[in-house]
Amino acid sequence: MDPYILKNKNYITSHKLQEFIKCPFCFKKKHIELVPSPRQGTPEYFVVGQAFDDYMTHGQEEYCKKYEVVERRDKNKTTDRLQLTKGQGETIDALLKGYNLNPFFDKKVSKKILEGELFGVKVRGELDHFADASNTIIDIKTTANLFKFDPMSYVYQMAFYHLLMEEIEDRRCSVRLYVCEKDVEVPKSECFEFSQESLMEGRRHVLLDMVKYVDALENNEFPPTTDRYTLLTSCEYYGVEGHGIQDHIITI
């Protein structure tokens, strides 16, 4: 079972709330009934992202205890360390260089966990970094192409954190993204700060979605999405109990 699912089983996170909105049926299968996902394995970009996060959070020594870079992964390895390919190791080195080059990035990262309630539902947020002195919520992102990176695609997540910080700790914070590019030749990074207007608009959507989620819980109604794009690109449980299976011919 995915550690993320188990860790957040009794909570709503920004990611889980977005999953619910995309397809309530898949959400119920995954997070309430805990049906194993038909999709097996961890995408390579998640492996790199998690390793980079571990390095930033726990430091080089702990990182080296958990990971090792190898020429080829060995299924019969005798060590408990997680194996990274040479390419993955080089990507993580590039991310670290890009991070350390940016003068706007805090060099010491301090995670913060937020847990509380909204509309009677337990909510949880795990902040990559909280700069207490400047009262700033910071999330660290990686991207294959910094020029094409869209920070507004993360406004929902950051508005969720912004709301939790205000509701749970009565703190009104600034919110920033630290973004590092996975370019092993020329490491690059940029810092983005969300305006309060953007955060308030994101919060409006979060609150509307929380109301929908509470209604679904109270009525035990988790219908499958009918959106074709979502069905064909995002539904992990496509085909389960007939979910998403075509029921009519598409006229063109």
Q: Check residue 124 and give its pLDDT.
A: 98
Q: Check residue 80 and give its pLDDT.
A: 82
Q: Check residue 30 and give its pLDDT.
A: 95
Which residues neighbour 93 within 8 Å (Cβ) at sequence distance 6 or greater? 184
List average pLDDT for each run of 10 residues in the chain, which is 252 residues long. Answer: 85 98 97 87 75 92 91 75 91 95 94 96 97 96 96 98 97 97 94 98 98 98 95 93 90 94
pTM of the model: 0.91
Q: Which H helix or E strand runs over 143?
A: strand 136-143
CA nearest to 96, candidates 62, 43, 131, 56: 56
Domain ranges for the chain: 42-221
CA nearest to 193, candidates 176, 207, 214: 176
Structural contact between residues 40 and 238, judged by C-beta atoms closer than 8 angstroms: no
Chain centroid, CA 144 distance in Å: 16
Q: Check residue 44 and give its pLDDT.
A: 66
Q: Check residue 45 and give its pLDDT.
A: 66
Q: CB under 8 Å, gap of 24 or more: what pairs does 110-115 form?
A: 111/57, 114/161, 114/164, 114/165, 114/168, 114/169, 115/11, 115/168
Q: Does domain 42-221 have CATH number 3.40.980.10?
A: no
Q: Check residue 247 and give its pLDDT.
A: 83
